[in-house]
C-alpha cells in the first residue's frame, strides 16, 4: 500500500483539521476532566502515587540527589528495588522537562500523564496516514487508539500510558514486509526497544502483536502479492547491497540491542537474586474471559449491561469493552478488502484467541513460561496494543463510508458522522477515578508534622500499618515521606517485594519480619537485625517492639504442597484479646502431623497464609465465602511439630455480635479446609459497636 499523493493546499488544510479536532476533543472532554483541570491526580492513592514517586526518584537521580538509580532507598536495605516494577526511563524526559519548567512534582505528574494521550494519538495518526487511510479515517482510528475505554480505565496504572511506539513499530513492520529494506528492520528495532523503555508490559505485548501480524501476513491470501513471504524477506535482507544504508541499519540494530541489554541486565540480575516469578494460577486468573470483552462497568451507556455479567475474576483488570460504535466501524472496515486491513483483523483474532481463557483452558500456556512472559502478570492488558489493529479497522470503516460512490452517499456519510460522534460520546462518558491534590498533600503533611525536627544521619524511616487502612496507603506514605526527608525507608510498594514484606496487620510483627528477612537474605544473624533496628525511626505510631531471640526458621515452598499435607494440618484458636478499639489479637496454634515441614515462604506467589472471617452469631455460611483477609505464616511449622502465632484482626464495621473462624490457604493452590483441615473457631463471641469499635468478648 503506497502513501497517498501530496494533496492540494485546501485539501491539506482540511486533512490537518480532522486530527486537530479529534485530539482537541479527546484532551478537553476526556484527559483534562480526568485530572479535574490539573486539580486532581488521575487514579487513586495506590499505583498512581507509586508512579509519581518513581518518576520523581529518577528525576532526583538525574539531578544527583538520589545516589543510586536502581536502588531508590525503598524496601531498604534491599538493593535493586527499581526493578520490582516499571522504571519510566523512556518517558522521564517528559516529566523532567515539566519539572525544569517550574512545575512541582504533582502538576508535572499530571502533565506527564496527559501528554501520553497526545503522543499516542499523534503517532497512531501518522502511522494510519502512511498506511493509506484518509484524514477523517485516520483521525477516528487514532482517537480510538488513544482514548478508547480500555485505555481510560487504566488511568490508575499510568505506567501503561505511553504506547506511542507501538504504531511506529507497526509502520516499520509494514514497510519491511513491503520493501524488505534493512533500514525498516533497524527502525523496527528502535521502536520496540523504546517501547520497552517506556513500559515493559507494553513492550512485551508489542512483541506478541508483531508476531500476530507476521503470522497473519502469511495466512491472508490477498496479502501475498503485496507483502514479502518470510523466506523472501530474509533473502531480501541478506542480499541487500553493503551500502551506507546497510551499515547505518547495522549500527542502529547494534545500538538497539545494547540499549535493551542495559535495560534488562539489572532486571534479570535482581529477578534471579530474589527468585521472582509468577505462579501459573496467578497468570491464569488475569487472562481475559469471553465476557471480559463486554465489561465496561463505569460506562454511562453500558454500565448497567456490564454489571450484569458475573463470574469474571479480577474484574477491575478485565474491563475490555471498546464500545458499540468502534465495533460497528470495525465490522464496516472489514468490508474494505485491502490486504493490511485483513492482516490487521486476523492478527487481532489470533491474539485474542491466544490469550483467551475459556472455562480454565487457554492457549496462553504455550507462552506463559517463556523468560519474559513469566514475569507478566496481567495478560488482560494486551487490549492496550490490540487497540492498534482495531484502530486500523475503525479507520477502514470510516473510509468506506466517507469515500463511497454511487447511491446513498449522503446517508453513508451521515452514518459515518453518527458513528464517530457515538465513539467520542462513549469514551467521554466513561467514569474514571481521581484524587484531589489536597488529599494527596494532606497525607504527607500529616506525617511530616509527626516526624522529629532532626533525624540521625543514618535514620531509616518507617511508617507502620494502621488498623483498617489498606496496606498500600501506609507503604506509599512511608515512601513519600522518606523521599521528602531525603532518607531511606523500610516501606515499599511495587509489583514484587523482597523477603519479609508480607501481609500482617501487627506493626511490630511487620517491622521484625522486614529486619529478619533482610538478615536471612544476607546470611546475617541477630546482630544484623539489632544494628538495623537501632536505626529505625517509626513515624505515625509509637512502637515498642521486642526482637526475637533468634532468626525464625523460614524455608521456601516450591510449587504446590503435596495433596496429603493439607489434611495433616490442625489449626486451633487458643486465645483472643482486644488490643485496640478496632483490633483483636488472636493467637492460633498450627499442628503439623506430616512428615515434612510446612514452609512459610514461596518462590512464585504460592505462600501459605492464614485467613479469617466473621459470621453473625447463631448463623452459618458457605465454607467458600468470606475468606478475603490474609496474614503471613511467619515461621515454618516443623514436621510433627507445632507453632503458635499471633494475628492482628480488624473488627467488622457493622454493629452486632460475631463469631470468628480461621483457616489457611496456599495461594493459587487450595484452601486447607477444602482438603481435610477443620476450620478453627474462636471460643468467644465478639461484640461490635458503632463504627467498628470493639465493645467486649463474651
Tens of pLDDT, residue by residue over 257-315, are 999 999 999 999 999 899 887 778 888 889 999 999 999 999 999 999 999 999 899 99
Range of lowest pLDDT (12-26, 134-148, 225-239): 225-239
Max alpha carbon distance in the chain (Å)? 88
pLDDT at 11: 60
Weakest-pLDDT range from 33-37, 486-490, 601-605: 601-605
Q: Which three cell numbers stand for residue 388?
A: 492498534
Residue 132 has pLDDT above 80, yes or no: yes
Confidence of residue 40 (pLDDT cuts 50, 70, 90): very high
Quote the pLDDT of residue 556: 86
Segment 47-64 shows an average pLDDT of 95
Angle at 409 (CA atoms; ends 404, 415), nearest 5 degrees: 90
Question: Residue 693 has what pLDDT?
Answer: 87
Whole-number percent of the chain with pLDDT over 70: 98
Q: How far apart are CA 87 and CA 663, in angstroms?
A: 38
Q: Cβ neighbours of residue 183 under 8 Å, at least 6 residues apart?
A: 245, 248, 249, 252
**Nearby residues of 155 by Cβ (< 8 Å), 6 or more positions away:** 34, 42, 43, 48, 113, 432, 433, 434
Q: Specify the CATH architecture of the domain 556-697.
A: Sandwich (2.60)
How many alpha carbons lie under 13 Å from residue 323 in its C-beta half-sphere?
32
Q: How far apart are the C-alpha atoms of 691 and 688, rounded to whole Å?
A: 8
Task: Give CA–CA dist 14/26, Å, rounded.
Answer: 19
Enumerate the β-bridge partners of residue 602. Answer: 557
The region of weakest confidence among 99-108, 121-130, 374-383, 427-436 is 374-383
Does this model's pTM top 0.95? My answer is no
Task: Say which residue, 173 or 650, is predicted with more confidence.
Answer: 173
What 8-state DSSP symbol labels residue 31? I
Q: Is the pLDDT assigned to residue 225 strictly greater than 90?
A: no
427 is written with which cell numbers? 469514551
> Of 2-6, 164-168, 234-238, 692-696, which gets the smallest average pLDDT?
2-6
- Tens of pLDDT, residues 72-123: 999 999 999 999 999 999 999 999 999 999 999 999 999 999 999 999 999 9
Report pLDDT for 430: 95
Q: What's the rounded mean pLDDT across residues 644-661?
A: 91
Please report where in the chains the cell 483541570 appears, as a residue.
Answer: 37
- Contacts of 64-67 with CB under 8 Å at 24 or more apart are 65/486
Has residue 4 got a pLDDT over 60?
A: no
* Greatest mean pLDDT range, 346-355, 357-366, 460-469: 346-355
| Pick from 273-282, 442-451, 478-487: least confident | 273-282
Asked whether the predicted pLDDT for residue 3 surpasses 70, the reply is no
The whole-number pLDDT of residue 88 equals: 95
Q: Which residue has the higher pLDDT, 238 or 107?
A: 107
Write out pLDDT tens, residues 539-580: 998 888 899 999 999 888 888 899 999 999 999 999 999 988
Separation of alpha carbons 294 and 284, rounded Å:
19
Domain boundaries, the chain: 86-428, 436-538, 556-697
Q: How high does pLDDT run on average in the chain?
A: 91
Amino acid at each position: 500500500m503506497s502513501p497517498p499523493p501530496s494533496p492540494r493546499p485546501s485539501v491539506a488544510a482540511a486533512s490537518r483539521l480532522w486530527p486537530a479536532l479529534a485530539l482537541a476533543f479527546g484532551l478537553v472532554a476526556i484527559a483534562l476532566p480526568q485530572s479535574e483541570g490539573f486539580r486532581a491526580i488521575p487514579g487513586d492513592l495506590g499505583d498512581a502515587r507509586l508512579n509519581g514517586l518513581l518518576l520523581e526518584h529518577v528525576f532526583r537521580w538525574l539531578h544527583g540527589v538520589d545516589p543510586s538509580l536502581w536502588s531508590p532507598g525503598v524496601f531498604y536495605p534491599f538493593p535493586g528495588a527499581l526493578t520490582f516494577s516499571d522504571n519510566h526511563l523512556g518517558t522521564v524526559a517528559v516529566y523532567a522537562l515539566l519539572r525544569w519548567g517550574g512545575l512541582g512534582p504533582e502538576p508535572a505528574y499530571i502533565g506527564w500523564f496527559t501528554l501520553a494521550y497526545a503522543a499516542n494519538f499523534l503517532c497512531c495518526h501518522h502511522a494510519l496516514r502512511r498506511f493509506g487511510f484518509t484524514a477523517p479515517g485516520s483521525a477516528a482510528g487514532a482517537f480510538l487508539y488513544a482514548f478508547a475505554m480500555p485505555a481510560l480505565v487504566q488511568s490508575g496504572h499510568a505506567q501503561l500510558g505511553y504506547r506511542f511506539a507501538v504504531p511506529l513499530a507497526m509502520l516499520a513492520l509494514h514497510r519491511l514486509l513491503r520493501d524488505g529494506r534493512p533500514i525498516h528492520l533497524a527502525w523496527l528495532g528502535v521502536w520496540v526497544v523504546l517501547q520497552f523503555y517506556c513500559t515493559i508490559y507494553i513492550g512485551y505485548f508489542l512483541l506478541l502483536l508483531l508476531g500476530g501480524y507476521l503470522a497473519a501476513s502469511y495466512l491472508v491470501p490477498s496479502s501475498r502479492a503485496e507483502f514479502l513471504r518470510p523466506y523472501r524477506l530474509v533473502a531480501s535482507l541478506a542480499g541487500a547491497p553493503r551500502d551506507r544504508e546497510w551499515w547505518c541499519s547495522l549500527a542502529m540494530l547494534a545500538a538497539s540491542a545494547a540499549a535493551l541489554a542495559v535495560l534488562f541486565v539489572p532486571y534479570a540480575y535482581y529477578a534471579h537474586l530474589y527468585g521472582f516469578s509468577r505462579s501459573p494460577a496467578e497468570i491464569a486468573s488475569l487472562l481475559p474471559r469471553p465476557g471480559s470483552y463486554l465489561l465496561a462497568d463505569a460506562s454511562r451507556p453500558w454500565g448497567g449491561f456490564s454489571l450484569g455479567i458475573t463470574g469474571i475474576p479480577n474484574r477491575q483488570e478485565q474491563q475490555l469493552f471498546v464500545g458499540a460504535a468502534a465495533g460497528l466501524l470495525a465490522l464496516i472496515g472489514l468490508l474494505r478488502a485491502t490486504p493490511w486491513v485483513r492482516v490487521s483483523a486476523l492478527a487481532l483474532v489470533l491474539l485474542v484467541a491466544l490469550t483467551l481463557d475459556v472455562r480454565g483452558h487457554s492457549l496462553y500456556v504455550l507462552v506463559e513460561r517463556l523468560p519474559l512472559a513469566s514475569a507478566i502478570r496481567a495478560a488482560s492488558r494486551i487490549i492496550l496494543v490490540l487497540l492498534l489493529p482495531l484502530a486500523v479497522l475503525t479507520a477502514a470503516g470510516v473510509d468506506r463510508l466517507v469515500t463511497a460512490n454511487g447511491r446513498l452517499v449522503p446517508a453513508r456519510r451521515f452514518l459515518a458522522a453518527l458513528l464517530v460522534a457515538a465513539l467520542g460520546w462513549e469514551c467521554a462518558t466513561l467514569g474514571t477515578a481521581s484524587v484531589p491534590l489536597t488529599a494527596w498533600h494532606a497525607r504527607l503533611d500529616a506525617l511530616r508534622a509527626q516526624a522529629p525536627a532532626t533525624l540521625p544521619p543514618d535514620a531509616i524511616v518507617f511508617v507502620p500499618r494502621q488498623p483498617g487502612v489498606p496496606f498500600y496507603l501506609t507503604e506509599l506514605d512511608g515512601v513519600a515521606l522518606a523521599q521528602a526527608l531525603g532518607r531511606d525507608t523500610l516501606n515499599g510498594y511495587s509489583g514484587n517485594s523482597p523477603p519479609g514484606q508480607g501481609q500482617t496487620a501487627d506493626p511490630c510483627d511487620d517491622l521484625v519480619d522486614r529486619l529478619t528477612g533482610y538478615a536471612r537474605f544476607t546470611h546475617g544473624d541477630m546482630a544484623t537485625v539489632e544494628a538495623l533496628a537501632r536505626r529505625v525511626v517509626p513515624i505515625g505510631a509509637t512502637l515498642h517492639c521486642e526482637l526475637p531471640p533468634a532468626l525464625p526458621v523460614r524455608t521456601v515452598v516450591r510449587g504446590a504442597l503435596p495433596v496429603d499435607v493439607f489434611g495433616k494440618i490442625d489449626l486451633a484458636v487458643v486465645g483472643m484479646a482486644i488490643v485496640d478499639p478496632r483490633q483483636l489479637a488472636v493467637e492460633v496454634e498450627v499442628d503439623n502431623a506430616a512428615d515434612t515441614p510446612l514452609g512459610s515462604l514461596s518462590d512464585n506467589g504460592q505462600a501459605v497464609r492464614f485467613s479469617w472471617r466473621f459470621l453473625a452469631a447463631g448463623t452459618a455460611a458457605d465454607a467458600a465465602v468470606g475468606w478475603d483477609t490474609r496474614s503471613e505464616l511467619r515461621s515454618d511449622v516443623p514436621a510433627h511439630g507445632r507453632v503458635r502465632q499471633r494475628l492482628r484482626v480488624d473488627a467488622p464495621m457493622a454493629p452486632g455480635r460475631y463469631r470468628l473462624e480461621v483457616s489457611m490457604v496456599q495461594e493459587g493452590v487450595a484452601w486447607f479446609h477444602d482438603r481435610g483441615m477443620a476450620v478453627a473457631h474462636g471460643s468467644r463471641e465478639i461484640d461490635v459497636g458503632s463504627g467498628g469499635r470493639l465493645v467486649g468478648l463474651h
